[in-house]
Structure 1
Amino acid sequence: MRVNSQHRFVSHDGTELFFQRWQASAPGAEKKAVLLFHRGHEHSGRMAHLVDELDLPDFDVYAWDARGHGQSPGERGDAPSFSACVEDIEHFTRHLQHAFGVPIENMAIVAQSVGAVLAATWVHDYAPKIRALCLASPAFDIKLYVPFARPGLTLMHKLRGNFFITSYVKSGMLTHDKERAAAYDTDPQIARAISVRMLLGLYEASDRIVASSQDIHVPTQVLSSGSDFVVQRKPQFAFYQRLPHPLKEFHTLPGFYHDTLGEKDRAIAVRKIQRFITQCFSVPYVAPDVLNADRIGSGCALAEELSTPLPTGSLRDRYWKMAKGNLKFGSRFSAGLKIGEDTGYDSGSTLDFVYRNQPESRGFLGRLMDKQYLNAIGWRGIRVRKTLIERLLQKYAKRLAEQGKPLRMLDIASGHGRYILDAVASFAQRPASILLRDYSDINVAAGQKLIAERGLTDIAQFVHGDAFNTESLASIDPRVTLAVVSGLYELFNDNDLLRRSLTGLQQAVEQGGYLVYTCQIWHPQQEFIARALTSHRQGDAWVMRMRSQAEMDALVEQAGFRKVDQCIDEFGIFTVAVAQKL
């Protein structure tokens, strides 16, 4: 007999979320776990039948109630954002590691519908080293049936703000199991409404994850219901096709309705999941081989394509030349565009303008252009990244203080240093030292001015430094306890450059010290940036190669660090992670 217990864990924003645990009935030598993620509108109790049906006696089983569902707090069917729920999964799995001793490498995920999209997004964005991912009827594209429903909801959300819609789905559309359908109709914890921000967030995350599932490096099984009235099946197969891991499966279940794991004949689906998980655990965990993704693979191929000039005179060539010309012309009026054109759109000066986030042009037209420019999704993401960096710097500065260690900070490519100095201003106590470095004379001068303005000249200095010079970084003395690399590695496609930098950082950071690093895992305007924007590197095109989080983490790990924390902006563009020197 399995022992069931009920628990709560504290998530990223202090919210306590509910989950259940069923202890293994035949525990083995090492802890193993299956994590269950329920459909939208439902809760953990609706998946409890799988605990015995999966027939995995040596696995603990955990099932949560997502915020706004079941016994977890929040308005029913709502959350601050879809990405907040994804981050909840990250904190849930961390809690299971610390509270119950389950290694992340010994976790398998079984998720259904909206829960499957949450789980897939988490695996894509956070690159956890889990053993298996089983997705039942993932809700990558919900059938709304009303023409133009999605753009209409998007417009209404912009005009009205958040509001709720009631699901059209009846229990008879979910399952042939009459008993389960009746339970759905009478369950007081079923939330029939969903907020529009969650629904639109689900769509946006789904589009992104389906288009970039090549960055999910986990054995994955997809179960697709053959007679699903609720979600489209086409994106489920598109998601599956792009998965890079050799251990992947796609199963169509003829006649199944949307509640795949609650169907009358669900034993067919459950046996497939049980067999897949058992086989994935029959061999030791093997980390994905992504260290050479700069030289081979889909991301490398796309960057190469964007680096290749278009045929002269072609329609696309004319279009992008016109786009570049428009930016050049706009720089006569817009201060933001002029900084980008003069110093590069990836320069420290451009980033400082983005951080200031104020129209600075003289004329009305220029201020209007500045406002539109600053509202671009990439710049909004960068400002969120700044906030996330500050949050993590505060957290780990406090942790070092609790450990009785001095706070010696280093940023190897600071730009103007604004985000570091803004973070320091919020610390409970001043750092022992702050060393800011940059290769650019403009950035060093601007940073030195900021240090003087903030009254930090007694503890802070800004010097010239090459972020990719191993020996220069390794010679930093005394060794630092909190190092930062923000927005730098995203600008360079070559992993050997990163290895040189990380090797130097490994020597610059004290044993047990922390490294805060950023990554850009996706961007909706990748071609626009490559074809229309110039880089700080002598006016070259700004061609970005997206790195998966798995690739970035592998490079950091190769250098002698271990990732201990991570967060991501709500758009899914920029991640900020923390690793500790081993």
Structure 2
Amino acid sequence: MTHDDAALPPDDDRWIVHEGGFPASHDTRLFYRHWAPRRPRADGPPRALVLLHRGHEHSGRVAALVRDLGFAGDHAFAWDARGHGHSPGERGEAPDFAALVEDLDAFVRHIQRAHGIAVEDMVVVANSVGAVIAATWMHDHAPAIRGVVMAAAAFAIKLYIPLAIPALKLGLGFKPGLQVTSYIRPGMLTHSADEARAYADDPLNAKQVSGRVLVDMAATARRIVGDAAAIDTPVLMLAADQDHVVKTAPQREFFERLSSPSKRFVQLRDCRHAIFYESEPVRAEAIAHCRAFIDACWAQAPAPAERFRRADVGSRSAQAYQRLVDGKLVGAPTRAFHAFQRAMLGTLGGLSQGMRIGMTQGFDSGASLDYVYRNQAQGRLGIGAFIDRGYLDAIGWRGIRLRRKHLRQTVSRLIAERPGDAPVRILDIAAGGGRYLLETLKCHRDRRLHVTLRDRDPANLEMALALAREMGLGDDVAIEARDAFDPASYAGGDAQFDIVIASGLYELFADNAPVLCSLEGVARQLKPGGVLVYTGQPWHPQLALIAGTLRNHRGEPWLMRPRPQAELDGLVACAGLAKTGSLIGLEGIFTVSVARRPPAAG
């Protein structure tokens, strides 16, 4: 790291400013700045502000904000988004919006590793596009941060051109690398002539933005605003009353839906979009609100994970699930449409092999999932395969297949991390047919693997054992008929497994008590330092449609309560395990996470 004299005014000696790089998503290294306090606070662990710059800008632009917030005993960090400032990539470009969220997660984990600052001792300050990145990160990754300031959150951009998003989608079909030049003039961002001039003259500001990122961000913002109840992190929202760039209504909608016990919405008067670059006294007012909020965040202890034990009863998620059970989540026209869908399923559905399996064994059954994983359309009378293709391409099933990919990547990485000469003991507590795990293990025949597959259905286990023998893995695989929710299933054999897998299981059950019971049993069977790989379903866009048309393996309507990622991670923490990271699936429907049992003392 090197000193950067330009990142703060020369007469401000409260911080030492460093530059560095960190490993971000997609094998990319991004540039960041670190403001290290010359006189760190001595009354507790180190704390940090993590700042996200606006779209088109870079981390150097937040230096004045670090100075004016004035937390001189605390660290501050900001990075240049890919394609911005000193970070690599075509200007304004990114693989997709999800990559920007993954970059934030990678940045925070880098701060933890490299600077020894716990995530619960961080507050995020984010502006515009950065605020949408922060909101998505809170929803999908559920970090235990102390609080978030969101200024002029760009949940809905004022594009001014009719049908702009459909036009961008069409353009991306012809030119995947399509970029859009910003229509925003500096004077539309702030009343301050000096700040407008500084923005216009900054050679590191990027005027272009990826069309793909714009389209992705619009879709992601609708999802996050609609499911904001999954977030209970303290939030301060600052909105501008003369914002020419983004709409205020979605910001209010997001705020109203938040489950955060500590939240505040402030609409600043005579203020334009670049809130932290406004004229005085508006900017001073915004800074004062931020300081008061951040002070309150530091003063309040981190929320305990125990709060999630009863989230299946009193949370917004539980309330929505009860409306689904009572048939009140949708109105009469939608229920009539679902009845029509059921009738079509009962007639034409039988022509599709996948639908036929779902109708006979349950759409959530192991046999149904195994068919979805194979992803080979089959049917009768010619049209059946066509219907089956549409069935297999449903967003939920595409998400399931991506979940399997993430599971295989995660398990492979964890096996590779074990010492090369040590045996690796793996347990799957609800293996079903075991196909994805056995396929993964086949690629690690050079390792000493001992695998135990458990399931409550002996037929599934016999199918898994037959597949293991077919793949030449029979000597390494044992089967046990056990119920993952029965405490007796975890009796004896404590601390014997390096990796335990709970895949596609906890998301099928709405109640938290059996899930926590299972997690506590898993924690006992992990070796110190061992890891749990667990999947979640934080949300789903077709809950009512699935409940109104499909049956589960018990022959009942397939009712699902998406368990927010924060809630699932909280139950994992209650069992004594510490989450280390997540992979987020298609549109955030499914997640694959890893949590570690603390290593033995010494």
Does the alignment reach a TM-score above 0.5? yes
Residues 32, 60 of structure 1: 8 Å contact kept: yes
The residue type paired with residue 521 of structure 2 is G
Match of 1:165 in 2: 180
Aligned equivalents of 2:276, 2:328: Cα separation in 1: 49
How far residue 425 of structure 1 moved from its aligned partner, in angstroms, is 2.6
Aligned to 1:36: 51
2:429 is matched with 412
Q: 1:227 to 1:313 in 2, by over 3 A?
A: closer
Structure 2 stretches lacking a partner, 5+ long: 1-12
Q: Secondary structure at the match of 1:571?
A: helix
**Higher alpha-carbon deviation: 490-499 or 276-285:** 276-285
> Are 1:45 and 2:60 an aligned pair?
yes
Paired residue type of 1:540: E
Question: Is contact 1:521–1:547 with CA below 8 Å preserved after alignment?
Answer: yes
The RMSD of aligned alpha carbons is 1.9
Gaps of 5+ in 1: none
**1:103-502 → structure 2 map (5 Å cutoff):** 103-158=118-173, 160-265=175-280, 266-287=283-304, 289-309=307-327, 314-401=332-419, 405-427=422-444, 429-476=446-493, 479-502=496-519
> What amino acid sits opposite 2:419 in the alignment?
A
* Alpha-carbon distance in structure 2 between the residues aligned to 1:525 and 1:221: 31
Residues 416, 433 of structure 1: alpha-carbon distance in 2 compared, 3 angstrom cutoff = same
1:160 Cα deviation from its structure 2 partner: 4.3
1:458 is paired with a residue whose SS is helix
Correspondence for 1:573: 589
Whether the 8 Å contact between 2:242 and 2:271 is mirrored in structure 1 is yes
Identity in percent? 40
- CA deviation string 1:258-278 (max 9, x = no partner): 111111231211111111101
Q: 1:10 aligns with which of 3, 13, 23?
A: 23
Show structure 1 runs of 4+ deviating over 6 A. Answer: 310-313
Q: Which amino acid aligns with 2:68?
A: E
Are the aligned partners of 1:451 and 1:461 in contact in 2 as well (CA < 8 Å)? no
Name the CA distance, whole Å, in 1 between partners of 2:425 and 2:432: 19
Of 90-99 and 365-374, deviating more is 365-374
Distance 1:310 1:212 in 2: 18
**Per-residue displacement from partner, 1:518-541 (whole Å, max 9, x unpaired)?**
11101111111111111112x111
Amino acid at match of 2:358: G
Distance in 2 of aligned mates of 1:293 and 1:23: 39
Q: Could you tell me whether the CA contact under 8 Å between 1:83 and 1:570 is conserved in 2?
A: no
The answer to which of 218-227 and 385-394 deviates more is 385-394
Residue 517 of structure 1: aligned partner:
534
Query: Which secondary structure does the structure 2 equivalent of 1:286 belong to?
Result: coil
- Scaled by the length of structure 1, the TM-score of the pair is 0.96
Structure 1 residues 447 and 159, CA, compared in 2 at 3 Å: closer, same or farther? farther
Note if contact 1:482-1:516 (Cα within 8 Å) is conserved in structure 2: yes
What secondary structure, in the 3-state scheme, does the structure 1 residue paired with 2:117 have? coil
Task: Provide the rounded CA distance (Å) in 1 between the counterparts of 2:400 and 2:83.
Answer: 29
Could you list the per-position Cα deviations for residues 357-410 of structure 1 after superposition, in whole angstroms to 9, with x for gaps in the alignment? 1112254311211211111111111111111111111221122226x6531111
**Paired residues, number:** 580
Q: Structure 1: how far apart are the matches of 2:95 and 2:279?
A: 35
Tell me which amino acid in the other structure corresponds to 2:225: V
1:314 deviation in Å? Answer: 4.5
Deviation at 1:114, TM superposition (A): 0.3
State the AA in 1 paired with 2:573. Answer: E
Distance 1:498 1:257, change over 3 A: same
Aligned-partner residue type, residue 121 of structure 1: T
How many angstroms apart in 1 are the aligned matches of 2:192 and 2:588? 38
Range moving further from structure 2, 29-38 or 437-446: 437-446
**CA shift for structure 1 position 441:** 4.0
Query: What is the TM-score when the length of structure 2 is the normalising length?
Result: 0.93
Shift of 1:254: 1.0
In 2, distance between residues paired with 1:478 and 1:253? 56
Measure, in 2, the Cα distance between the counterparts of 1:155 and 1:215. Answer: 33
Rounded to whole Å, the distance in 1 between the matches of 2:330 and 2:439 is: 46
